[in-house]
Amino acid sequence: MKLLYQLNTAFTVLLVIVMSITAFFTYSLLMDVLIQDEQRQLEARAKFMTDIINEQDPSVRIPQLSQLIQDRDFPLLLFDQRTGKILFRTLPKETSEEWIADFDDLIKDEVWEGNGKKYVAYAFSSGRDGSILVMATPLDDLEIVQSGLTYRMLAVFLIGLVLAVVVSHFLTRRLVTPLSRLKQEMKKIEQRQFTEVKPVHSTGEIKEVEQSVRQMASELERYITSQKQFFQNASHELKTPLMSIQGYAEGIRDGIFEGEAANKGLNVMVSETERLKKIVNEMILLAKLDSSEDVYHPERTEVVHLVSQAKDRLVPLARDKEVELRFLTEGTFYSYVDSERVLQALINMIGNAIRHAHQIVTIESLLQDKQITIRISDDGEGIPEDLLPHLFERFIKGKEGETGLGLAISRAIVVRSGGTIKASNKEEETGAVFELTLPAME
């Protein structure tokens, strides 16, 4: 069953149950309310009747009493409590005698029964002579009123139920329609039709889910695209050294290369094998860093010491490139990271800066908002604008790049350390700036 019908059915059933319980208790209480109201009216009539009965002048009392009884058709009984004699009645004789006989018991009840009929009765002492006036209303009259009110109440309940169901259908349709649209958009994601995913107009939590779905679609599209690009680049990077190795190996096997040429071919094969080994090792390291494998072992680490180590290891490269290394720091900072992995990331980033610098590479470390910031800048030509958004992706190589995996590994290490990494070009002069942040420890 569709969600729309499930919600409507559940709401309708709940509404019917609530209204049924309400109707049951209302119907049960209605008769009590009618009886209490009728007793109040009987009391008022009895007092009025007593005033007429106590009138001293018979010429006034008798005509008024007679006229009142004829006009109102009151079921009443007037009797002497001491003698049990009926003074006046409009009730049947059997009912009157039965009530007089059981008066002491009946006076405690709201509803009196006599001769097979039920009455709402009210007894009142009408004078000093011990006479009792009993006024009554047949219960049948109240039941007719109760039935009329009940039918009207049922009509109101039915109309309310229909209106509630209509409103419920409208509201649930507004709720379910965005979910149905969202389901269609997710089908497109399932079929990898990312460009055809359209926004779904909704509010509240559904809007948040819709935004999450669209973000997921963008991430999936980016991930799939990067994976395709990764396999294309990886196959290209692996294919080139393999072709060189295969060419020289076949040439040596077939006797094409001999003597010095064969030795040169063997050296190329060894060099390309080392290059292949480096690419494979870096790919394995990236895969492990991206997974949950236990290759990252954090500990309390002095970050400035790591930067100094990375700088010292790259001094020979800087001398070969005739580049000056400058290291500026404001103190000693600690972070909870894997020192070997972070050192590797720093070596990759500083080495990249040295290869692209003209004369100077500056390394700065400082503490900002409980974050350790390491800034590496050079005075080279800067990063091409088309390369900048993809700089940390796998097998993306700039000028003088080696495997195209160094910066990707650096980013993976920094992210695993809980930090961030970004690259930009200087605004007022030439050169690139790499900025790495790590969470600081006290």
Q: How far is CA 303 from the centre of its chain?
A: 40
Contact 333, 367 (CB under 8 A): yes
Q: Given this chain, do its domains 3-146 and 299-439 carry the same CATH topology?
A: no
Taking CA atoms, 287 is separated from 238, 293, 327, 377, in Å, by 17, 9, 32, 29
pLDDT at 129 (0 to 100):
64
Domain 299-439: which topology?
Heat Shock Protein 90 (3.30.565)
What pLDDT tens digit does each residue of the chain (442 aa) get? 566 667 777 777 887 888 788 877 777 787 778 878 877 887 777 777 666 666 555 555 556 556 555 545 668 788 887 788 888 787 888 888 888 888 888 888 878 887 778 888 888 776 656 678 888 888 887 778 778 888 888 888 888 878 877 877 777 777 777 777 777 878 887 777 777 777 777 777 777 777 787 788 887 777 777 667 666 666 666 777 788 888 878 888 888 877 888 888 888 888 888 878 877 777 777 676 666 556 778 899 998 898 899 999 898 888 988 999 998 887 888 899 888 888 988 988 898 889 889 899 999 988 888 889 999 999 888 888 877 777 777 666 655 555 567 788 888 888 888 899 988 888 878 888 999 999 988 7
pLDDT at 12 (0 to 100):
78
pLDDT at 71 (0 to 100):
47
Domain ranges of the chain: 3-146, 204-290, 299-439
In Å, the largest CA–CA distance within the chain is 160
Domain 3-146 -> CATH class: alpha beta
In order, the DSSP letters of 190-243 are: HTT-GGG-------HHHHHHHHHHHHHHHHHHHHHHHHHHHHHHHHHHHHHHHH
- What does DSSP assign to residue 90? S
Taking CA atoms, 10 is separated from 4, 21, 138, 173, 249, in Å, by 10, 17, 44, 14, 77
The rounded distance, in Å, linking the Cα atoms of 196 and 194 is: 5
Q: Which CATH number fits domain 204-290: 1.10.287.130, 1.20.1260.120, 3.40.50.2300, 2.30.36.70?
A: 1.10.287.130
The rounded distance, in Å, linking the Cα atoms of 179 and 3 is: 9
pTM: 0.48
The rounded distance, in Å, linking the Cα atoms of 126 and 300 is: 103
Taking CA atoms, 403 is separated from 236, 278, 385, 395, 397, in Å, by 11, 8, 21, 6, 7
Task: List the structure tokens of 19.
Answer: 């209204």
Q: How far is CA 165 from the centre of its chain?
A: 26
Q: How far is CA 242 from the centre of its chain?
A: 53
Nearest to 405 by CA among 266, 241, 284, 228: 284
pLDDT at 360 (0 to 100):
92
The rounded distance, in Å, linking the Cα atoms of 155 and 86 is: 47
pLDDT at 438 (0 to 100):
92
- Sorted by sequence, the CB contacts under 8 Å of residue 86 that are 6+ apart come out as 77, 78, 79, 96, 97, 100
Instruction: Tokens 């072709």: give the residue.
Output: 243
Q: How many residues are there in the chain?
A: 442
The rounded distance, in Å, linking the Cα atoms of 327 and 354 is: 13
Nearest to 36 by CA among 107, 120, 103, 100: 120
Contact 134, 99 (CB under 8 A): yes
At 36 the three-state DSSP class reads: helix
Nearest to 358 by CA among 387, 399, 390: 399
pLDDT at 113 (0 to 100):
84
State the alpha helices, DSSP H only, in 54-107: 58-72, 93-101, 103-106
Secondary element (H or E) of residue 254: none
